[in-house]
A and B are shown apart, each in its own frame.
Chain A
Amino acid sequence: DSGVTQTPKHLITATGQRVTLRCSPRSGDLSVYWYQQSLDQGLQFLIQYYNGEERAKGNILERFSAQQFPDLHSELNLSSLELGDSALYFCASSQSGGLSYEQYFGPGTRLTVT
């Protein structure tokens, strides 16, 4: 158990819909990262938040957005869903600052768009 929690575990929805994925980082971790894992694209970094502020963006679509709240949990919002958005979405957290570069991954949310 990494200490990172993600809800829900599975999500099935229809094209055009909007969903919200939730992540709670490990206690004390200030950074949260979102990744997408799909068969064709592999593991891709989407976005990073550090202590409530967006810090880095990767291959995140404009239909996707994220935020980190004052209690440090994060939400990834996916809208106007397409079949190609079906994937595993991972959240990871790390203790930013100092020499701690390790990211701890949650169990993932499996999104199926039908």
Chain B
Amino acid sequence: AQSVTQLDSQVPVFEEAPVELRCNYSSSVSVYLFWYVQYPNQGLQLLLKYLSGSTLVKGINGFEAEFNKSQTSFHLRKPSVHISDTAEYFCAVSDGGGSNYKLTFGKGTLLTVNP
């Protein structure tokens, strides 16, 4: 069975500081990894995804993540955050089996960017 652990439930940072949101996963098969963002009172929006190939994945809004198979991690990073990045971030994993692309989500990390 797949599982996702987001190591920090809340991350407060100052504007223009770098940030890393940590995600570890467990799965017995090949995985496909995703980061989603949820702004207050909105649905989820895909930030980036890893399916195969380069382990460094670039997404929208200046975010990137690195897939590390040996450490079973997929940490999300941004070199300089803005107030508008304040949101909840979810890491998710799918085993992509057949036509069943069920996503298993972590508990989420609330990123708060302070001026």
Contact = CB atoms under 8 A, between A and B. Distances in A.
Contacts of A97: 99
B45 A2 contact: yes
Interface residues of A, number: 27
A58 B107 CA distance: 16
A99 to B, nearest CB: 7
A28 interface: no
A45 B104 CA distance: 7
Nearest to B108: A42
A2 B46 CA distance: 10
Given A48-B102, A99-B51, 16 more contacts: A33-B102, A42-B105, A42-B108, A43-B90, A43-B105, A45-B102, A45-B104, A45-B105, A56-B102, A90-B43, A101-B51, A101-B96, A103-B103, A105-B44, A105-B45, A108-B43
Interface of A: 2, 31, 33, 35, 42-45, 48, 50, 55-56, 58, 90, 92, 94, 96-97, 99, 101-108
8 contacts: A31-B101, A43-B105, A50-B100, A55-B100, A97-B99, A101-B101, A106-B43, A107-B43
